[in-house]
Structure formats: C-alpha cells, structure tokens
Structure 1
Amino acid sequence: MAAEGLGFHEMGLEERLLQAISKLNWAQPTLIQEKAIPLALEGKDLLARARTGSGKTAAYAIPIIEHLLNTKKSTCEQAVRALVLVPTKELGQQVQQMIRQLTSYCAWDVRVADVSGQADISAQRPILMEKPDIVIGTPSRILLHLEQHTLSLCTSLEMLVIDEADLVFSFGFENDLKNLLGHLPKIYQAFLMSATFNEDVQALKELVLHNPVILKLQESRLPDSSQLTQYHINCEEEEKFLLTYTLFKLSLVRGKTIVFVNSIGRCYRLKLFLEQFSIFSCVLNSELPVHSRCHIIGQFNRGIYNYIIATDEHDLTDAASTDMVKKEKKHGKGVKAKDYEYGVSRGIDFQNVSTVINFDFPLTVDSYIHRVGRTARVDNQGTALTFVSLTELPLLHQVEEALTGENMDCALKPYRFHIEEIEGFRYRCKDAMRSVTKQAIKEARLKEIKQELLNSEKLKTYFEDNPRDFQLLRHDKPLHPAIVKPHMKNVPDYLIPPTLRRIANPLISMKKRWRRNDLQSSTQNRNKTYKKQNPLKHFSHTKKRRTKSAK
C-alpha cells in the first residue's frame, strides 16, 4: 500500500511533470491523489470514490502521463495508448485542459485529443490519424470512430479510464460501452473514478477491472462547516423570486453564483424576471450547443459573468418537454432531441464559485450533493442557500438525514432572514412576474437557441483563427421578449430596509458621494460661467497712471 503523507516529489515522477505541477501551484496532493497515484504507478487497477472537487482528474492523469513519458524512452512508435471515457462533452473538454496543463513542459512527447464534441466524424478523422497518445470522448463517440475504423485500439491501448463512472449508465451509454469493450485488447490497466458507489458502478467493475484496489476514502461527500456553510429558507413560489431579486440587487450575495432550477422553462422564467431589473445572467442547459456551453463555462471561470442559471441532469426528464414531444409526434412533426450527453451539476469544474442557490429543491440527495459541490472546492470557502417550499419539505428531511449520517458538522442551518423587511419590493416583483408570460418564455427560449447556434458555428471556425475576438462573444445579453420598464433598474433608498443599508451594496453610498461631489463641482463651474457672462459680476476697473507729458 501507499505510504502515508507522500508529496509529489516523493512519488518518483518525471521532472517535467513535477515542473507542470509546480506551475499549477499544487503544494501537496489531495487525499485521493496521495492514495491513488502511487498505486496506479505500480500498475494496479483502481476503483476510487472521492467527493466532487477532490482532484480525481489529476489522480488518474498524472499516472497516465508518467507512464507515457517512460514508454517514449524505449520506443519511437506513435500510438493511442490511453483512452479516457467521460459521460459529458463539457467534462471531456475539462479533462483535455487538465492534461494539457500537466503536459505543458512535455507537449511534444504527449499528445492529447478530445473527440467528445459534436463535430462531424470526417472533421475528427485527421486528428485521430496523427495517433494522439491520449484520446478523450464519450462512449458513443468513441464507438462510432471504432466502427468506422478512424480509431484502432485493439493492439495499442495500455490504459483505460472511465471518469464519473456512476453517470455512464444513467446517461444511456450501457450498450455503447459494452460494444466498445469488444474493440479493446484483453490486457490493460483500468481506472474507475466515481463520486458514489452504486449498482451501475459495481456492474462496470465486473466488466472493466481485474483484481482492483478499492479506494473508498473515509470522508464526507461535502466539506465541513469551516469551509462550506449551508442554509435553507422556507418560502413559497412568489417569495423565491422576491428573495432572489433582493439578494442580487442589494448585493447581499457577492461573487460568482450558480442558481439551480429543475427545468429549462424555469431557467428562462428566472432570467427574464431578473432582466426586468437589469440583472443579467447566462442560461446553461442541454438545449444549447456544446460549443456554447463550454464557452459559457470558460468565460464564467474567467470572471466575465457573475450569475449562471443552470439545470442539472434532471432537466432531461422535464415534464413540459415530454408533453411537447408527445404533441409534436401526434401532429407528425419532427422533434429535435435534447443533448443527453449533458450534465452541469456533475464533473464540471466551475472555478471560484462563492455561492450556490437551489432555487428549486433538487429531486434526490445525490443531486443536492453534486449541486452544492460546485462551491467550496479545494481550499476555497463557499455558501449554499436552498429555497424550500411546503411541498419540498420531505426532500429537505431526506437531505438532512443523509448529511447528518455522514458528518454531524455538515447540516443545513436556517437562514435568518426577515421577509417582512423587504415587503416594499414585493409590488415590483409582482409587476415583473406578470410581464414574464408563457409566450415570453417560449420566444426567449427560441431566440437564444437561434443565437447560440450561430455563435456555436463562429466558435468552431472564426474564433479558432481570431483568438483575440473570443472575448467579444457574450452569453448574458438581454433577450427582451418581456416588457422591460426602465424605472425598475434603480432601487430607491426608501425601499432599502434600515437593517440592510450598511451591508446592502456598498456602491450605493459611494455613488451618493460621487453624486454630491459632482453636484458641488458642477455648481462651482456654473457660478464661474455665470460671473463671466454677467458684466456686472466680472467688471473690474483699473486706474491708469498719469504720465509726465500729461502734466
């Protein structure tokens, strides 16, 4: 077994790999990295469970890169030696980015290719013809390449990874994965990385692993209260919108925030509601093209957006969408399928998220854990706030029981907020909610899909040749099918509760100071101008000196 307290330098890693780790400012390995990397370097199969944000990607990427660098020393033949299977395209891009960061000092020796996107097979063929050392993709896309002979693994593959293994079957990849395994050699080293051990993971274990070491780390699935603060507040539908408006408009919630809802329609309803008050946000769901989704996540991580409204994997069973599909089938119309290889609450590395708001309560305990796991990652602090309606109380009790069973210091606290103090905002919120009709939501949904389809093509072609223009494409532009009233943008001082005036939006007092200074300076300038224009104010007489000749 691995020794206790091993650092990266004690693991016998190649110097260039250590340089890349140092460049990423990783002082010490996380618990999963400390346990998994030495075992993987010994050639053992691994079944590892660790919570979201614990460093699972690097735990398998580092051994793969180390193995490839050692193999290159003894052979010059170029071949695909490592395959990483992911359940979502967003996760595929994230894994590729992580591997590229870890190979920044040996990029010529270790090549990586991500084929999980929606590009045409023929467009990906030239990439695979170069035989990259590591190929990343979803099971369905990899199987397609294997069947069309654009990828061959039967003789060269040495390492296989299935990341977020508990999602692979639930995302409908069971048959694809079983068919894919028939194209692989009989002997290879395999890793299964997962946040939970369920029946699907046990089935994968039997299919893929050979006498594995099982790492079931003794840690709760969420950080304790010293790092993650979890609150819940009881409120009904109208109050959810009122609270969200107050938290954002008065800057009671600061930093990057993800708001989770349970359906795509709810995404656009909340976005249009916030637009009434000039609070702009991005929508992230399975209807948007994969290039747009990855671009939104990348720009959010760079701090271009503060608010994302997202659905998780449960939106794939959205009842409204199901009804729409039934109606389309009844009338004999074609139906555009959603992207089922999608998941926001799982696997995606949202960086430096300060707050997660569960606008709609998640439908399962696992979904709650994965949503809240978007914040308080690595050593960062985070806050989770969950809105709970009367009908959602049973779900809250399930979550509390699960968390209390894992860690007594990981329970949800009641959020002490006096709703009566913000009653002055209620009429504004009601006015805004009346403007967000079903027709407005439908129009907004169609408008954004059309915009993002165009943006996706630009991202795929134009921005590859013009990287400087990449920043110009924004995803939080107003959709404006709903009526927007200009006066809703500003918050009168008399509406702000006295108890919140000191902490609510420090910019308000600063704006007042600027306004007062501007008023004083403008008054002074106006007085000077008035004096210059009025001859009685600026007239001055100077007495002439008499000369001797005048005498």
Structure 2
Amino acid sequence: MAASTSADMNDLRFHEMGLDDRILKAIAKLGWSKPTLIQERAIPLALEGKDLLARARTGSGKTAAYAIPLVQRILSSKQTAREQAVRAVVMVPSRELCSQAYKNILELTSCCSREVKCADVSVQVDLAAQRPLLMEKPDIIVGTPSRLLAHLQAQNLTLVDSLEVLVIDEADLIFSFGYEADLKALLPFLPKIYQAFLMSATLSDEVVALKKLVLHNPITLKLEESQLPDMDQLTQYHVKCGEEDKFLLLYTLLKLRLVRGKTIIFVNDIDKSYRLKLFLEQFSIPGCVLNSELPVNSRCHIVEQFNTGLYDIIVASDESSLGTGKQGGKRKKSKSKKGKSREYGVSRGIDFQNVANIINFDFPPTIKSYIHRVGRTARGDTKGTALSLVNDTETEILEDIEKYLVKEDGTSLIRPYQFKMVEIEGFRYRCKDAMRAVTRVAIREARVKEIKHEIFQSKTLKTYFDDNPRDIQLLRHDKVLHPAKVHSDLRNVPEYLVPKTLKASTSGASFKGPTTRKRKHRGPRESRFAKKKRRNAADPLKSFKFKKS
C-alpha cells in the first residue's frame, strides 16, 4: 500500500481514538495531554489492523505509538479468549532499550496489570531460570532477537499458535547490531499471519530489507517533520577552538556554572571519556562515564540514576559512530571491539529524561550521528541547548552539517557561540596543571578500576538493591576514581580570576579569595602516661572495677 503522511486528522485526542478506559486512565497518570504527531497518525491505523512502517525522529513518542494499540488489542482479545497466551512480541536491538520499552509498557498497563502481563527476557541469565516466567505465558514479551531465538530453540516459548502482533523497535539498528542471522532464523517460529510494526528513526536500506522480511502490504508513515526540534525549543551553538582550549572552555562553563542542569558530554572514544572524567575530578566536578565496556546492568542503572536526578553530568563515549563518515577529511577506521558490547549505542534510542544540555566535546563524524546526539535534549515540551566544540580537523564536517541544518531563509541553525577566550586566559595554567596529572597510565588504571568496580556491582549487588531500594545511594556511578594526582588547590576558583563580564552570571559558583592561615591553638603537650591513662579510662574492659559487697 502507498505511503501516507497527510491523513485528514487534525488534533485527534486520545479519548477520540476508541481506547479502553484503563488505557486512558494510565495515559492521564503519565500526564500526556495530547498525542504526538507519530501517535496521532499511527494509533488509529494500528487499531484498524494495518501493518505499519513508521519513521519519526528521536524523542517523538514512537514507543507509545505501538504500545497503546498493542495493549488495546490484547484487552479486546481477552474478552473472547479461553486461555492465556503470548499475543505480542516486542523486539529491540539492545538490553538497555528492552528495559526501557518494558518500563513504558508497564506504565501503560498500570491500570490493567491483572489483565495484561509483560515480561522482559533480555536479562542475561541462564535460559532455564526464565523458563518458569515463560511457562506463565505473559501477554507481551520484550527481548532482543538473539535472546528470543534462544528461548524458541530451547522450546521455552512457542509463538506459532498464539502470536498476534510483532513489533520491531529501532528497526534501523537491528542489522547493524549484528542480528540479521538471528532474525532470519527466528521467522520460521512465527505464524504466517500476524500484524507487524516497524518503528525507526531513519528509512535506511536495512529497514527496507527488514520490511520485505516481516511486513505484509504495509502503510508507510514518513512524517513530514524536522529531524530536530524547532528553534524555539532547541538552541544550537558551536565554538571553534584548539584541542587544549576545549578542556579550558569546558572547565570554565561547568565550574562557573554557565552551563546548568542535566548535561551529557559526548566524546568519540573510551579513553577520552576517562581522560575527561579525571580532568573534571581535579576541580571537584562530579560525573560518571557511560561506555560500551561497562556491564549492561551498570549502563541501565547509570541512565536510571541520571533520570532520577542523582547526578547531573554523564561523559558518554559514542564510539559506534566512528566506523563511517569523514573527520578532518579522512575516514576513521573503527578500532577493535574486543570486550565491547555490540548492543551499545548511547546516542540512539535511550530515553535520557529532562536533559538540558548536550556538549559535543568531540564533534561527531557524521550528520546522522550529530542529529542523534543532539536529539537527546529538547524532548517533549522541554527546552534544550546543544554546544559543539570544534577543532581545525573537524571544521569540514561542521560545514557539511551547517549546510544540512538550515532555516527557511537559508541560514544555518547552528550559530557561533559568542565567547571571548581572552577573558578566561587566567584559568589556563590551572587546566594545564590538571591535564599534566591525567597521564596515560592514570587513564588506563581508571579504566580498569571502573570496569572491575562496575562488574562487582552489577553481579553482586543487583539483587540486594532490588530488595533494598533505600540503600541505592551506595550504588553511585559518579564516585571519584583518583588514580591521578589531585591538586586540592584546584577545587575552588579564586575570585580574582573570574572575568568581570562573567561575575554577574556565576552566582552559586565556588569562589575563594586569598586567605591567611591561622595557627590552631594547642594546649600543653600531653605526656605518654597521661595519654595511656586517658585511653584506659575510655576502655570499659580496662576501667571496670569489681566491688566487694
């Protein structure tokens, strides 16, 4: 069937879609006043039983666009069904995204949780451990293609007689994450007739190939909307500076609180993420690292704690973008992925909530990567800012992106950030001191220490903290690594170094003027005998005296 984007639907509300009251109640609890464009177009077509191939930008509400009709169909089927069965499967390319989709479905079924059961089988435990869960035949199963295939081959799960709906979310990542063979092997386990949804941020060649494998005469929704939020919601800047100036500028922005709120700092490789974390630690700026080497439980937990506001800064390595595209006129080859998760892709899909700022410390090598990174902020009705730090080797790709992201009058959406580097020259020596302490050895030690620590937390403490949520503060991911020598005098900013033009906008920053040390008053030196007597008096075993009656 032909593509359709301009259906005659104007401001269609949730209560006008014929949804079950329990779903409407859950939507109201989530605070959704009206559907997004993808939801407005996709939900009515899905309720009619159509197969859908939907393309919409990151943060547009694609998960709810398939989850709402999915839950509605299951509630309708249960009115006539005689027995419990697995009626829907949601395939997602990574365990982080599985966890996210599972939580979203639980939120939408919060008012009908007795009728609609959902299970996430993506957790890497023994297949036999999940067999009892699957024997209960949950209505919806969420998992990666490889995990679902493993359960089907182990006969823990059968779909051929019961499956009604198949959803593939983030469809453009399925093949790139290495699931092509798994998906093709999984298809014979499915019935011949079922409703299918493919949800994607792009309509790549991989999605077209997937469409031929899974969909039957689908409707394609290619929404005519910008790939990024409007200018009044998302402000984009760039600063052209040297590599050393990037560290100086980032330190100034964070320490003087010129950048406030939740912030994701993107770099292009894992070593750089630890270098940046150790650099910020020199100035007592806390933050956590997110990369492909960390255990998946830790990665999910980092995102969860960030979303709940436990910490405000994540240094995220987006090494998945290095395999393609130009950077400084040369193609950058992807490094060995030994020890890294093939499912990792932090700039895509993961639902970071209420992100105020995106800082591209390393400029992304492709237009696609830039859009996905910047799409982490200004989601829903919130506003956001994206700042890119660009050195001489990155100007070529910046110019390409500036030509691609333009206003109606032809000018670029990415504006120069008017910042006078001369005014912060006084901070340069402090940054150089901090950078000298962050050596290659310190980075390597930090990397090993972090991985060991996260593996221990991931395996040993996961069950404990599930049972004891009040102790969650102990399981923080922004703890200081400190393999580098820390200069305590860098913690505070001397007031005389702050430029006059910035003092008005730096309220709340930690400044410290010159002070004179006062010698603590000490009394007369205590003798060794007096010390021993005082210690014995404090010891109940040594001070105990037996009194005769």
* Alignment TM-score, normalising by the size of structure 2: 0.88
Helix, strand or coil: the match of 2:386?
Answer: strand
**In structure 2, what is the equivalent of residue 391 of structure 1?**
393
Per mean C-alpha deviation after superposition, the further-off stretch among 489-498 and 466-475 is 466-475
**In structure 2, what is the equivalent of residue 177 of structure 1?**
183
Partner Cα separation in structure 2 for residue 158 and residue 316 of structure 1: 39
**In structure 2, what is the equivalent of residue 108 of structure 1?**
114
Partner Cα separation in structure 1 for residue 122 and residue 241 of structure 2: 41
2:453 to 447, 451, 454: 451
- Check whether the contact 1:46–1:213 (CA below 8 A) recurs between aligned residues: yes
**1:41 is matched by which residue type in structure 2?**
L
Partner Cα separation in structure 1 for residue 147 and residue 305 of structure 2: 26
Q: Residues 108-153 of structure 1, C-alpha deviation per residue, up to 9 Å, x if partnerless? A: 1111111122222222222212111111111111111111111211
**2:301 is matched by which residue type in structure 1?**
H
- The Cα of 1:191 is off from its aligned counterpart by 0.5
**In structure 1, what is the equivalent of residue 367 of structure 2?**
365
- Check whether the contact 1:224–1:407 (CA below 8 A) recurs between aligned residues: no
Q: How does 1:56-75 map to 2 (within 5 A)?
A: 56-75=62-81
When residues 240 and 375 of structure 1 are mapped into structure 2, their CA distance, relative to the original with a 3 A threshold, is same
**In structure 2, what is the equivalent of residue 222 of structure 1?**
228
**1:403 is matched by which residue type in structure 2?**
L
Partner Cα separation in structure 1 for residue 96 and residue 478 of structure 2: 19
Partner Cα separation in structure 1 for residue 391 and residue 322 of structure 2: 23
Helix, strand or coil: the match of 1:4?
Answer: coil
- The Cα of 1:281 is off from its aligned counterpart by 0.5
Per mean C-alpha deviation after superposition, the further-off stretch among 119-128 and 142-151 is 119-128
**1:493 is matched by which residue type in structure 2?**
E
**In structure 2, what is the equivalent of residue 309 of structure 1?**
315
Helix, strand or coil: the match of 1:84?
Answer: strand
**2:47 is matched by which residue type in structure 1?**
L
Partner Cα separation in structure 1 for residue 269 and residue 399 of structure 2: 22
**1:169 is matched by which residue type in structure 2?**
F
Partner Cα separation in structure 1 for residue 160 and residue 8 of structure 2: 32
Q: How does 1:219-258 map to 2 (within 5 A)?
A: 219-258=225-264
1:467 to 461, 466, 469: 469
Whether 1:439 aligns to 2:437 is no
- Check whether the contact 2:168–2:197 (CA below 8 A) recurs between aligned residues: yes
Per mean C-alpha deviation after superposition, the further-off stretch among 407-416 and 16-25 is 407-416
Q: How does 1:369-380 map to 2 (within 5 A)?
A: 369-380=371-382
**In structure 1, what is the equivalent of residue 4 of structure 2?**
none
Q: How does 1:14-413 map to 2 (within 5 A)?
A: 14-312=20-318, 314=320, 322=335, 337-404=339-406, 411-413=413-415
Partner Cα separation in structure 2 for residue 355 and residue 467 of structure 1: 29
**Structure 1 segments unaligned to the other structure (5+ residues):** 326-335, 516-551
- The Cα of 1:459 is off from its aligned counterpart by 4.2
Partner Cα separation in structure 1 for residue 427 and residue 125 of structure 2: 47
Whether 1:12 aligns to 2:14 is no
Higher normalized helix content (fraction of residues): 1
**2:159 is matched by which residue type in structure 1?**
L
- The Cα of 1:235 is off from its aligned counterpart by 1.0
- Check whether the contact 1:225–1:409 (CA below 8 A) recurs between aligned residues: no
Q: Residues 426-470 of structure 1, C-alpha deviation per residue, up to 9 Å, x if partnerless? A: 011111111111111110000000100111023432122222222
**Structure 2 segments unaligned to the other structure (5+ residues):** 1-6, 325-331, 516-549
* Alignment TM-score, normalising by the size of structure 1: 0.88
- The Cα of 1:472 is off from its aligned counterpart by 2.6
- The Cα of 1:294 is off from its aligned counterpart by 0.8
When residues 240 and 27 of structure 1 are mapped into structure 2, their CA distance, relative to the original with a 3 A threshold, is same
**1:287 is matched by which residue type in structure 2?**
E
- Check whether the contact 1:116–1:141 (CA below 8 A) recurs between aligned residues: yes
- Check whether the contact 1:277–1:489 (CA below 8 A) recurs between aligned residues: yes
Q: Residues 217-236 of structure 1, C-alpha deviation per residue, up to 9 Å, x if partnerless? A: 11110011100000000011
- Check whether the contact 2:407–2:413 (CA below 8 A) recurs between aligned residues: no
Bigger radius of gyration among the two = 1
Helix, strand or coil: the match of 1:404?
Answer: coil
**In structure 1, what is the equivalent of residue 539 of structure 2?**
none
- Percent identical: 64
Partner Cα separation in structure 1 for residue 507 and residue 199 of structure 2: 42
Cα-Cα RMSD? 2.0
- The Cα of 1:2 is off from its aligned counterpart by 6.0
- Check whether the contact 1:48–1:214 (CA below 8 A) recurs between aligned residues: yes
Partner Cα separation in structure 2 for residue 117 and residue 491 of structure 1: 45
When residues 436 and 390 of structure 1 are mapped into structure 2, their CA distance, relative to the original with a 3 A threshold, is same
**In structure 2, what is the equivalent of residue 537 of structure 1?**
none
**2:197 is matched by which residue type in structure 1?**
F
- Check whether the contact 1:291–1:459 (CA below 8 A) recurs between aligned residues: no
Paired residues, number: 501
Partner Cα separation in structure 1 for residue 303 and residue 204 of structure 2: 29
Q: Residues 346-388 of structure 1, C-alpha deviation per residue, up to 9 Å, x if partnerless? A: 1111000000000001111111000000000011000000011
- Check whether the contact 1:222–1:410 (CA below 8 A) recurs between aligned residues: no
**2:479 is matched by which residue type in structure 1?**
K
- The Cα of 1:405 is off from its aligned counterpart by 8.0
